Structure 1
Amino acid sequence: MSDWPYPFLFAHRGGGRLAPENTLAGMMKATECGYQAVEFDVKLTADNVCVLLHDDTLDRTSDGHGPMAQKRFADLLDVDAGSWKGEEFAGEPIPAFSDVGLYCVRSRLMANVEIKPCPGRDVETGQLVARDAALFWQGESVPPLLSSFSYEALQAAVAAAPWLPVGWLIDHWQEDWQSRLQALEAVSLHCNHKILTAERVKAVREAGYHVLAYTVNDIARARALKAWGVSGVFTDELDLMRQDETLVVAG
């Protein structure tokens, strides 16, 4: 099993419930709460700039509208991605991956970068996110962990930056998980925590891979997953999870 430098707790989309998701304010909130690692989503603009956003459209998490795939980076500069979460976040921009990567490196904040392609843009998104991640974390002792639901995007990421660790994201159990991970030379399988059992975690661990679980917002569930051998969980409940000292140490 490969060395595992990451902590057990990852702040989901940066600030979890405490800040607007996928923003610099969210990353800062994770740091403020004492987190050592964050998870966030990266996709491409129409002119191939890597930016942070979960959805395919701007509507839910900003005052912008329409598909990200149709927006150039310049179109995003005046978009407010913070006001929906609270007045104190008014004017928070949709950040470029470069800004968040620089913040993470400077703050010694480890990262799980989820590659989140717009529809039909799997290959180029995987390539460009991996290329940028390799550049931003060049020379750092702990590289970012790349993950994606898109197997095609992960294949492209591995081809672009084979030295970066990758994990495959699944929402439903996949019986071919081992062959898929082997083909990617992945280090981890990232699962919806609801599909995990002690037996499944044991099988993945015995095959030489780590297991990460999303999105875990209950302390008892997090404890159980850790006892089974899960290496990390993504949580929205930043304050709550930090109250349990057994969850703060590495997985």
Structure 2
Amino acid sequence: MDRTDADGLFPRWIAHRGAGKLAPENTLAAFELGWRLGWRAFECDVKLSADGVPFLLHDATLERTTNGHGAAGARTWDELARLDAGGWHSPAYAGEPLLRLDRLAEWALPRGAWLNLEIKPSPGTEAATGAAMARAVEALWRAHGAGESGGPAWPLLTSFQPAALQAAQAAAPHLPLGLLLDHLWPGCWAVARGLGCVAVVLNHGLWTAALLAEQRAAGWRTLTYTVNDATRAEALLGWGLDGLITDRVDALGPGQPATA
């Protein structure tokens, strides 16, 4: 894996939704492509089916990235498993299914891939999703030796929804959490501190050198999304950013000039 932060917690380079835009996002095909391109750390979005199964999907609805319709969280896993989550991207991926969190763990953990799991609750299910995600992660990662000497690193659980993080913290207090921010709202740093977050993950346009220095001094690891420009990436890393999420898995990151 490319350089991690000082405590070995976070990789510097993280592939967005598996392989950026080169494969259908949040599918196993995307993670496999990202891996083949040399990436060893991945971000993805996780929500719950109507019957409580954690699975990967970004949107609240199914239309953009599957051949389904309506609210994703209103469907059982049996219904979701029948959908095509790849044909929207390109014919080569037609028939690619939605991905369950347990299947992703089975793929990632034996090969040493690190994950940033964004808790992406369907509207109104923030607490339920955060708690279920934390319990699932605890069981899946523990089964592979997480928490033991030489075991895999716990994933980072992030969310824009403080209620989801609060529920995750209550369900599994040892899991590392990060607050996602697309704007700086009043009290956001206090909320992150109250949740025991180890990281803050900001839209890259929010970071300045001064803000990054402030938050690092406050004791947080600093991450950002979604950086697709090499010049911006170099500036952020030069300021001391710990981790950067990108779609440009073919141009940035491992083995590319901006990784120095």
Paired amino acid for 1:184:
L
Q: Displacement, 1:235?
A: 0.5
Matched-pair contact (CA < 8 Å) for 1:2–1:187: no
The SS at the match of 2:251 is helix
Q: Which of 239, 242, 250 is the matching residue for 1:231?
A: 242
1:195-225 CA-to-partner distances (Å, cap 9, x unmatched) read: 1111110100000001111000011101101
The answer on 1:195 being equivalent to 2:199 is no
The answer on 1:11 being equivalent to 2:23 is no
The SS at the match of 1:241 is coil
Deviates most, 200-209 or 98-107: 98-107
Distance in 2 (CA, whole Å) between partners of 1:136 and 1:176 is 34
Distance in 2 (CA, whole Å) between partners of 1:201 and 1:4 is 19
Q: What is the TM-score normalised by the length of structure 2? A: 0.92
Q: Displacement, 1:73?
A: 0.6
- Structure 1 match to 2:256: 244
Q: Which of 85, 92, 110 is the matching residue for 1:106?
A: 110
Distance in 2 (CA, whole Å) between partners of 1:147 and 1:105 is 19
CA spacing shift, 1:2–1:153, aligned 2, 3 Å? farther
The answer on 1:93 being equivalent to 2:97 is yes
Distance in 2 (CA, whole Å) between partners of 1:27 and 1:54 is 15
- Structure 2 match to 1:36: 40
Q: Which of 165, 175, 189 is the matching residue for 2:176?
A: 165
Q: What is the TM-score normalised by the length of structure 1? A: 0.95
1:46-103 CA-to-partner distances (Å, cap 9, x unmatched) read: 1111110000011000111110121011111210000111122111001111101111
Q: Which of 214, 217, 221 is the matching residue for 1:206?
A: 217
Q: Which has the higher helix share?
A: 1
Q: Displacement, 1:3?
A: 2.3
Q: Displacement, 1:4?
A: 3.6
Q: Displacement, 1:116?
A: 0.2
Q: Which of 133, 136, 142 is the matching residue for 1:132?
A: 136
Structure 2: stretches of 5+ with no match in the other structure: 147-151
Paired amino acid for 2:84:
D
1:161-194 CA-to-partner distances (Å, cap 9, x unmatched) read: 1111000000001352332222111110000001
Structure 1: stretches of 5+ with no match in the other structure: none
- Structure 1 match to 2:149: none
- Runs of 4+ that moved beyond 4 A: none
Matched-pair contact (CA < 8 Å) for 2:230–2:258: no
- Structure 2 match to 1:75: 79
Matched-pair contact (CA < 8 Å) for 2:19–2:247: yes
Q: Identity of counterpart residues, as a percentage?
A: 42
Q: Displacement, 1:246?
A: 4.7
Paired amino acid for 2:41:
A
Distance in 2 (CA, whole Å) between partners of 1:51 and 1:177 is 28
Matched-pair contact (CA < 8 Å) for 1:101–1:137: yes
Distance in 2 (CA, whole Å) between partners of 1:71 and 1:208 is 41
The SS at the match of 2:214 is helix
- Structure 1 match to 2:70: 66
Q: Displacement, 1:244?
A: 2.7
Q: Displacement, 1:245?
A: 4.3
